[in-house]
Amino acid sequence: MNRHGVMPALLGLAALLATGCTQEKQNEIRRSIQNWTGTNGVLEVYSGDKVVKRFLKIDKLSTAYGTEDNLPRNYRYGYGVLDENLNGTVDGDEKRVYFEISNQGTNWVFHEAPR
């Protein structure tokens, strides 16, 4: 199968498998496909109703798991470009960084970039 036929085949297989799965399993399959294909994500961190930090061009957010107990941790992590001036675009001096975001007590929104 050529390169262009792989993605439709994978999506078809996922759809076929999803019909016999629980909702949680279907969501997991969708996330794994999306993670494989990547997204152009934006993470915005809020203080009240004001954006105080923004990361651009995020491929995915990952849930941290314990090394020994394999239980999910209360934070997510990823890589993205820190939008230092909060203008919503990647400027020449802004760099890709690693970040962690708490699941508790932090107001944040992760979404696909509109542009």
Would you write out the chain's pLDDT as a tens digit for each of its 115 residues?
Answer: 444 555 666 666 666 555 666 777 766 666 665 555 567 899 999 999 999 999 999 988 888 899 999 899 999 999 999 999 999 999 999 999 999 999 888 899 988 887 7
Give the separation between CA 58 and CA 39, rounded to whole angstroms.
Answer: 7
Q: How many residues does the chain have?
A: 115
pLDDT at 9: 64
* pTM of model > 0.85: no
pLDDT at 60: 86
Question: Quick check: 98 and 76 in contact, CB under 8 A?
Answer: no
Give the separation between CA 96 and CA 40, rounded to whole angstroms.
Answer: 13
pLDDT at 25: 72
pLDDT at 40: 87
pLDDT at 1: 47
Helices assigned H by DSSP within 19-107: 23-37
